[in-house]
Structure 1
Amino acid sequence: MKTLLPPNSTELERKLAEVGKDAFDLPSIRIIKDIDHVPSQFLPFIAWQKSVDYWDDDWQEELKRKVIKESRDLHRLKGTPAAIKKALEPFGYEVNIIEWFEVEPNLVPGTFKLEIDLIGKPLNSDTTAEINRLVGETKAASRPVTDIQFTTNSPVPVYIATGYQRAVTVSSYTRSI
């Protein structure tokens, strides 16, 4: 038997190692590695293990699995404009980031604006709070957002005002196709 026990291990330690040698070959251990086949009741624990920054038990199971799978890539990108897009992507939003130097007249150096298309999803205070939270957690701490513009194709026009960091007013409007 191959073992990692030191040569001076006791007989009890060797017997315990022998008894437990097949523990990691159990199907229950192997299935946890495959996020698509993990029973749904284990998803919150795997999310914690994979350092998922934010978890909501009310999300659909498919979204939970997607967030777990993408957690590692998101941590690699954290603090970049791509991280903001990737954080909002699982929710089906289209995000356009406008850096301070891309507009005339230029914004304050180091700042950026966001244009978010909700693609037909409703805009309400929960959606706004979730977007603000995701943007705040993924952007670089030294890069303030000056403006967030929401676009939605919901059948009812929605106007909402929200403050973000420097108390900037943000509005949403219905766009016709």
Structure 2
Amino acid sequence: MTSLLPPNATSGERALETAMRSGIDLSAVGDLWNPATCPADVLPFLAWGLAISHWDAGWTESQKRTAVAGAIPFHQIKGTRAAAEEVLARFHPLLDIVEWWEANPRREPFTFEVRAPAGPEGIDASFLTTETAEAIIRDVAAAKNARSHFDFVFALEAQATLWIAGGALPGTMHRADYVAEIDESRDWSIVLLTEDGEPILTPDGTEFLETE
């Protein structure tokens, strides 16, 4: 059949022409990119198209639609502390981040610690299985910036269970009798930060610049 398209038509344009000649209803194409109207069996493909880093086939349809709907807003903050904190909030509200410059004693630059506090007011030990720890490490590694490395620490009374996670590598587990504490000797909310969330040092490199 003769085509009305010019010789330099793209493959996409030719595919549309073929679909229209075949009588395929193209009005539903817009619905496929809408997480609220996309057919349930097509949601995994929409998630792939939006580069969602973690997808669980066992999620309910509502959870899948929520994950797809939040993909673009999440990509807008990906690589920041806020993105890592959003990931942690999905697992447990008490999971927290301690940046290298907030820790006491201070950690190596461009590292941070994901902390799961234990105790009567902390996270129950039964929550943090090896599978859960691996999932947290995987999702935080996907959300953080490429430069930073982190440790995942679950404090257990005098000891701590430490999952080491470097880059996007899976963590390994071993016992440790040390866990960094937050340095509360200053107000960290007034420390000037770069766009990457790192503190700005004074010219002599001995102190952090503050807004006040």
* TM-score, normalised via structure 2 length: 0.57
Cα deviation, 1:105-135, whole Å, max 9, x if unaligned, reads: 2111111112347977832222111101111
Residue correspondence of structure 1 range 108-147 to structure 2 within 5 A = 108-116=108-116, 122-147=127-152
Alignment partners' CA distance in 1, 2:94 and 2:64 = 19
The Cα shift of 1:63 comes to 2.0
Q: Please list the CA deviations of residues 3-52 of structure 1 after superposition, one character each: whole Å capped at 9, or x if unmatched.
A: x944999xxx8x96974798432xx3233232123232111111111111
State which drifts further: 61-70 or 43-52.
61-70
- The 3 A distance-change label for structure 1 pair 104 and 91 is closer
Larger mean CA deviation between 111-120 and 54-63 belongs to 111-120
Shift of residue 83, structure 1, vs aligned partner: 1.4
Q: Which residue of 1 aligns with 2:200?
A: none
Unaligned runs of 5+ in 1: 152-158, 172-177
- CA drift at 1:99: 0.9
- Supply the distance in 1 between the matched residues of 2:110 and 2:88 (Cα, whole angstroms): 21
Q: Aligned pairs, how many?
A: 155
> Which of 149, 162, 166 is matched with 2:154 structurally?
149
Question: What corresponds to 1:156 in structure 2?
Answer: none
User: In the alignment, is residue 60 of structure 1 matched against residue 75 of structure 2?
Assistant: no
Report if aligned partners of 1:81, 1:139 keep a CA contact under 8 Å in 2: yes
Mapped to 1, the partners of 2:160 and 2:39 lie a distance apart of 39
Q: Secondary structure at the match of 2:104?
A: coil
Equivalents in 2 of 1:150, 1:73: separation in Å?
32
Amino acid in the other structure paired with 1:146: D
Offset of 1:73 from its aligned partner?
2.3
Amino acid aligned to 2:147: S
2:53 aligned with 1:48: no
Report the AA paired with residue 114 of structure 1.
V
TM-score computed with the length of structure 1 as normaliser: 0.66
SS at match of 2:55: coil
Instruction: Indicate if the aligned counterparts of 1:100 and 1:112 stay in contact, CA closer than 8 A.
Output: yes
Classify 1:53/1:8 alpha carbon distance in 2 versus 1 (closer, same or farther; 3 Å): closer
Structure 1 CA distance for aligned equivalents of residues 175 and 139 of structure 2: 16
When the two chains are superposed, the root-mean-square deviation of aligned CA atoms in Å is 3.7
Change (3 A) 1:168 1:127: closer
CA deviation digits over 1:70-92, x for unaligned, max 9? 22222222221111122333445
